[in-house]
Amino acid sequence: MLFVDSGIKFIHQQLAAELADWNHYKKAGYIFDNQTQFKLPNGSHISPDLCWVVLEQWDALSNEEKQSVPPVCPDFVIEIFEGDKSLEQLRLQMREYIKNGTRLGWLINPQKSSVEIYRVRDVQERNTQKCDILEYDIREIVAFGFRKAPTLLGENVLPGFSVDLQDLFNIQLNYRLQHVA
């Protein structure tokens, strides 16, 4: 395995810090990690590695709902493949997020140096096609291997948010080398 558990945790912490930094200036929503469970519209409970809920959606919940298992689907989710679930299980989970209202999702696979980006087509395009939303989850696979890693964008869900994967994986690799020796 290329990345050890502490390396995966490091990636998680760096992503959380970058999302928190963006959100601090935008004040557009709330960030949660896998310690928070959400109840999706289809009734299933989820705990993404990292997620963001738009301010208006969170503020519409009662205090009682916020203190229990909030009945809300995050607008943005990040899952990091680390081997505790199969990659196929995580892919199904990402599709479930999209089907229930998530607008953007990143499935990061550090071992394969790839990211799967999940998003829905815009509402106008969806309405003209008249199909089930499952047919609209778009999965884009970005595999970068030994090439320069791409910068991921928050698109229209998190305007102005970006993560330079090259920096993230270089910092993580240096961290791993310093702490494994």
Listed by start position, the domains of the chain span 5-180
Sheet holding 137-143, edge to edge: 29-33, 50-54, 76-80, 104-109, 114-120, 137-143
pLDDT score for 125: 43
* Residue range 53-75: mean pLDDT, rounded: 96
The secondary structure element, H or E, covering residue 54 is strand 50-54
pLDDT score for 82: 85
From 9-13, 19-23, 35-39, 98-102, the region with the lowest mean pLDDT: 9-13
In contact, 141 and 152? CB cutoff 8 Å: no
From 36-50, 76-90, 118-132, 150-164, the region with the lowest mean pLDDT: 118-132
Looking at domain 5-180, its CATH class is: alpha beta
* Residue range 26-45: mean pLDDT, rounded: 96
pLDDT score of 173 more than 80: no
pLDDT score of 6 more than 90: no
* Residue range 69-73: mean pLDDT, rounded: 97
CB-based contacts of 82, cutoff 8 Å, min separation 6: 3, 5, 8
Structure tokens belonging to residue 8: 């995966």
Which region, left, alpha or beta, applies to residue 59 given φ > 0 means left and ψ of -120 to 50 means alpha?
Answer: alpha
Q: What is the DSSP letter of 36?
A: S
